[in-house]
Structure 1
Amino acid sequence: MGHIAYFFQRRNTILLIQLGAVLLLISTALTWVTATGLPETAAAAEVNLLGGEMSPTLRAMGLVGVAGGVAATIARKWLRALIGAVLLGAGVISVIGAGLALSNPAAAAAPALADYTGVTETAAEYSVGFAVWLAVLGSVVLTLSSVAMLLFSPGWNDEKRSKKYSRGQAQAENPDEIDMWDDLSDGDDPTDKK
């Protein structure tokens, strides 16, 4: 468990969340399903349906993932748990949406296809593009990384690592110049011996 916790440090987990969300967003801009053999009353014989047209919810979940990943970089423990729960929900919704489009492309494409063709009749053939698999991959990565954030973020260090921008400990044992300046900012004169 120690190696897994080491891997899912703040930086790696946030990068995975962002990767999953970006893959999801990219997939919604690409062709998910190509419908061929449309009825004669349709305006076109073949229609390429983008992921965003077939499932606008997945695009929204990708945006939630990007925003949640950014928010998790600055959030403290209890807020990270809330963000992790929201990201987990977005990931699960994305997995379901991408899985439905992959398992039954005719049903997933029906509303968007009706908008294109103007008729509610189905096409003779539906071929699934690689972008659906990209959506599945992105949603799985988003889901797993949000679970990792829920599990491992309580162990993340919230203290600032850089002494340059952090407040010093007042009256530190072995003060350096930064600690003395911070003491002076706090109203304590470091040259004043008590």
Structure 2
Amino acid sequence: MGHLAYIFQRRNTILIIQVGSVLLLISTALTWVTATGLPETAAADELGLLGGEMSPTVRAMGLVGVAGGVAATIARKWVRGLIGAVLLGAAVISLIGAGLTLLEPAATAAPALAEYTGTTDPAAAYTPGFAVWLAILGAIMLLVSSLALLLFSPGWSDERTAKKYSRGRAGAENPDEIDLWDDLSDGDDPTARR
């Protein structure tokens, strides 16, 4: 468990969250399924259906992942747990959406295909593309990193971020630059003590 905690430090975990979320977003802009042998009412015989058209929830979960990754960088311990739970849900929803496309491409492509063809007649063949695998990879990365956020973020130190965005302690024993500036703002000249 110690090695995993070392691997999933704050920086690494947030990076994996962001990369997984961006992969989800990129995959939804690419072709998930190519439908061939379209009905006669269609203008073409072949049509590439984008991930965003087939599963808009995956795109939304990618946005949730990006926002959650940013929020986790500045959040405190218990808030990171909430963010981790939300990201875990987003990862599961994304994994289900992309997985169903691989398992049942005809069923998941039917609504988007009906918009293009104007009919509910199915195509002759459906071929999942590389972008679906990209979405699955992104969802797995988001899943693993959200679990890491839930498990290991309570052990992350909040001192550095807390110090950076909060006021120092007036009259601290071992003052740093922030404490000295805060003392000066309060009317106490730190050079007078020397």
5 Å-filtered alignment, 1:6-25, equals 6-25=6-25
CA contact (8 A) 1:32 1:132 kept: yes
> Is the 2:168–2:179 contact (alpha carbons within 8 Å) kept by the matching residues of 1?
yes
Partner of 1:109: 109
Number of aligned residues:
193
Letter aligned with residue 42 of structure 2: A
**Residue deviations 1:10-67 (CA, integer Å, cap 9, x gap):** 1110000000000000000000100001122223211100000000000000000001
Q: How many Å apart are 1:181 and its aligned residue?
A: 3.9
Q: Which residue of 2 aligns with 1:29?
A: 29
- In 2, the alpha carbon distance for the partners of 1:106 and 1:55 equals 13
Distance (Å, rounded) in 2 between the aligned partners of 1:171 and 1:159 = 18
SS at 1:6 equivalent: helix
- Return the alpha-carbon distance in structure 2 between the equivalents of residues 54 and 177 of structure 1: 54
Does structure 2 conserve the Cα–Cα contact (< 8 Å) formed by 1:88 and 1:143?
yes
Aligned residue for 2:160, secondary structure, equals: coil
Gaps of at least 5 residues in structure 2 are: none
Residue 121 of structure 1 and its aligned partner are, at CA, apart by: 0.7
In the TM superposition, what is the alpha-carbon distance from 1:116 to its structure 2 partner?
0.6
Residue deviations 1:55-96, cap 9 Å, x none?
000000000000110111111111111111111100000000
Change (3 A) 1:166 1:123: same
State which drifts further: 154-163 or 20-29.
154-163
What's 2:93 paired with? 93
Q: CA deviation at 1:3?
A: 1.3
Alignment-mate amino acid for residue 71 of structure 2: A
Alpha carbons 1:44, 1:117 under 8 Å: kept: no
Displacement, 1:133? 0.2
Offset at residue 159 of structure 1 (A): 1.0
Please say if residues 160 and 166 of structure 1, whose CA atoms lie closer than 8 Å, have aligned partners that are also in contact: no
Question: What's the CA shift for 1:182?
Answer: 3.3
TM-score by length of 1: 0.90
Shift of residue 183, structure 1, vs aligned partner: 3.0
| 1:2 to partner: Cα distance | 1.0
Letter in 1 for 2:103: S
Distance 1:165 1:41, change over 3 A: closer
Matches within 5 A, 1:40-189: 40-160=40-160, 167-175=167-175, 179-188=179-188
Using the size of structure 2 for normalisation, the TM-score is 0.90
2:120 counterpart SS class: coil
RMSD: 2.2
Distance 2:176 2:40 in 1: 82
Q: Following the alignment from structure 1 to structure 2, what is the Cα–Cα distance between the partners of residues 144 and 7?
A: 12
Distance 1:99-1:164 versus aligned 2 partners, 3 A rule: closer
Q: Residue 32 of structure 2 contacts residue 48 of structure 2 at CA under 8 Å; is this kept in 1?
A: yes
Cα offset, 1:171, TM superposition: 3.2
| 1:54–1:112 contact (8 Å) kept in structure 2 | yes
Deviation, 1:123, is 0.6
Per-residue Cα deviation, 1:154-185 (whole angstroms, up to 9, x for no partner): 11111127978764444333456664443343
Residue ranges of structure 1 left out of the alignment (5+ in a row): none
